[in-house]
């Protein structure tokens, strides 16, 4: 009898210890959001914590300045410290996996229903070498934004675009006006035209293919566009593109949801899919889809609890708040069946554009592409090199860096990833 009482007391003590541990469990989440996106994420966390009750896991948010975010993640997680969960863009995925296994693979956690609930391409963006390392939270893509007063009907093809621009130019004596504005010297923006021709950055392997003949054709077409008076601005920049559109001096813009917040009040604008390219056999402009995912540190001591929150944030509860409050395009596909969200012109347009967008490569080698590609773009557009010569030089530069990386040697300095930059608020 005494032995049974001792056993009961031991069980009670163990239960009390387990209960105290459960109450003390904490999942720390790092993010780089500001403004509406930060407020929305805070509301998601508040709702999740409230649903956990008194003894449930508590999620704690920490905002990190966006310009220091990826470096801070790399520095802390490599030392076995830092957050349990963090939000990051897909182009960093391969580097973090290869550079020290900083992310916990999620295949063990993923049930089929979760795998199937995301917008096509978004889970692929968070997959590296066959394993899923994060759940997709949102996606962004460049689309067509137009001034309805200047051009009531958006062009569906590049032929229609050129015809409409020619007619508009004939009616516009102001030489400072253009028809189409976008940062066409930026490789991130140019990728849409490159993909229309079947161009790419990598062949399977992966093998660098900046010198692909299709890439050359896309630059040759861009050169023809720049030679047409009044079609494109001479020296494009994001600030100039915004200014031209807001002053009614540009009828069309290729940009993403981040641009919408910069449009001046009073401008009647619309969004439409990017046109198809007659010169590429009618293939559509295919922008890169940039995806933000939510991953779990491989060093986290609370992986089960961390996954539960990640699943919640990227599921229906989190998606609704991030869409309505944060103005994000959730990766959670069923949310678009909601009539209110489905009718939102910006969310609907980006969702439609995603059908032809291509996930940006998440390979470690991608960080080595940006600077040489930018140099090639500028050399071509300033008539310092032909498209073929410029891309051949970029190919050699990137291949040299990739070879050094794969040999374990110190590669040349990497340019920072560019995809998320326009989306920061």
pLDDT at residue 200, rounded to an integer: 97
Q: Using 50 as the pLDDT threshold, list the residues of the chain that sit under it.
A: 1-2, 9-10, 12-13, 16-18, 20-22, 409-425
Number of C-beta neighbours around residue 18 at 10 A: 10
Which run of H or of E encompasses 170? Answer: helix 158-170
User: How many C-beta atoms surround the C-beta of residue 57 within 10 A?
Assistant: 21
Cβ neighbours for 63, distance < 8 A, ≥ 6 positions apart: 30, 31, 32, 33, 34, 38
- Report pLDDT for 419: 45
**Nearest alpha carbon to residue 419 among 240, 189, 262, 236:** 189
What whole-number distance in Å separates Cα of residue 363 and Cα of residue 398?
13
Residues 6+ apart with CB under 8 A from 92: 70, 73, 362, 417
Parallel, antiparallel or unpaired: strands 143-147 and 269-272: antiparallel
State the pLDDT at residue 217: 98
Which residues sit opposite 144 in a β-bridge? 254, 272
Angle at alpha carbon of residue 85, lines to 79 and 87, rounded to 5°: 105
Res 425: pLDDT: 36
Task: Report the residue count for the chain.
Answer: 425
pLDDT of residue 329: 96
* Cross-strand bridge partners of residue 87: 294
pLDDT tens digit sequence for 5-23? 555 544 544 554 445 444 5
Residue 73, token pair as written in the block: 């993640």
Whether omega before 206 lies within 30 degrees of 0, making that bond cis, reads: yes
Report the chain's terminal Cα–Cα distance, integer Å: 68
Encoding tokens for residue 85? Answer: 């969960």
Query: How many Å apart are CA 212 and CA 214, to the nearest integer?
Result: 5
**Structural Rg of the chain based on CA atoms:** 24
Residue 138's nearest CA partner among 110, 119, 159 is 119
* Contact present, 209 and 202 (Cβ < 8 Å): yes
User: For residues 73 and 86, is the Cβ–Cβ distance under 8 A?
Assistant: yes
Q: Report the pLDDT value the prediction gives residue 24, as an integer from 0 to 100.
A: 54
**H helices present in 78-111, as ranges:** 93-98
Q: Is 51 helix (H, G, I), strand (E, B) or coil?
A: helix
DSSP letters, 235-248, are S--HHHHHHHHHTT
Per-residue model confidence (pLDDT) at position 4? 52
Instruction: Let me know: does 299 contact 96? Beta carbons within 8 Å.
Output: no
pLDDT tens for each residue of 26-81: 999 999 999 999 999 999 999 999 999 887 899 999 999 988 898 899 999 989 89
Q: What is the spatial distance between Cα 200 and Cα 210, in angstroms, rounded to a whole number?
A: 7
For CA atoms 368, 137, 335, 115, give the dihedral sign.
positive
DSSP 122-136: HHHHTEETTEE-EEE
């Amino acid at each position: 009898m005494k032995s049974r009482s001792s056993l009961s007391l031991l069980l009670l003590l163990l239960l009390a210890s387990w209960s105290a541990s459960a109450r003390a469990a904490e999942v720390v989440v790092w993010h780089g959001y500001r403004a509406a996106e930060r407020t929305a994420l805070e509301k998601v966390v508040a709702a999740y914590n409230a649903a956990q009750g008194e003894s449930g896991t508590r999620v704690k948010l920490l905002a990190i300045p966006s310009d220091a975010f990826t470096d801070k993640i790399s520095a802390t997680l490599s030392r076995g410290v830092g957050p349990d969960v963090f939000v990051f863009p897909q182009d960093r995925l391969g580097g973090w996996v290869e550079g020290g296994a900083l992310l916990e693979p999620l295949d063990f956690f993923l049930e089929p229903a979760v795998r199937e609930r995301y917008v096509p391409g978004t889970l692929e963006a968070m997959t590296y070498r066959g394993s899923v390392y994060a759940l997709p939270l949102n996606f962004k893509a460049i689309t067509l934004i137009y001034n309805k007063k200047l051009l009531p009907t958006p062009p569906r093809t590049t032929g229609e675009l050129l015809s409409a621009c020619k007619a508009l130019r004939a009616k516009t004596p102001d030489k400072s006006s253009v028809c189409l504005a976008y940062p066409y010297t930026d490789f991130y923006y140019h990728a849409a035209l490159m993909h229309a021709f079947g161009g790419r950055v990598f062949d399977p392997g992966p093998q660098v293919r900046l010198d692909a003949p299709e890439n050359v054709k896309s630059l040759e077409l861009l050169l023809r566009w720049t030679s047409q008076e009044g079609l494109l601005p001479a020296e494009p920049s994001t600030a100039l593109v915004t200014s031209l559109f807001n002053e009614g001096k540009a009828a069309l813009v290729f940009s993403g949801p981040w641009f919408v917040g910069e449009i001046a009040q009073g401008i009647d604008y619309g969004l439409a899919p990017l046109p198809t390219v007659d010169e590429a056999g009618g293939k559509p402009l295919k922008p890169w889809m940039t995806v933000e995912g939510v991953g779990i540190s491989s060093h986290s001591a609370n992986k089960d609890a961390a996954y539960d929150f990640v699943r919640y944030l990227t599921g229906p509860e989190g998606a609704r708040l991030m869409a309505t409050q944060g103005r994000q395009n959730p990766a959670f596909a069923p949310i678009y069946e909601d009539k209110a969200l489905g009718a939102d012109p910006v969310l609907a347009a980006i969702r439609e554009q995603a059908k032809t967008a291509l996930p940006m490569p998440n390979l470690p080698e991608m960080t080595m592409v940006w600077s040489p590609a930018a140099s090639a773009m500028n050399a071509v557009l300033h008539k310092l090199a032909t498209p073929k010569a410029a891309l051949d030089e970029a190919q050699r530069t990137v291949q040299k860096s990739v070879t050094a990386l794969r040999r374990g040697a110190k590669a040349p300095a990497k340019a920072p990833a560019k995809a998320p930059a326009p989306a920061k608020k």
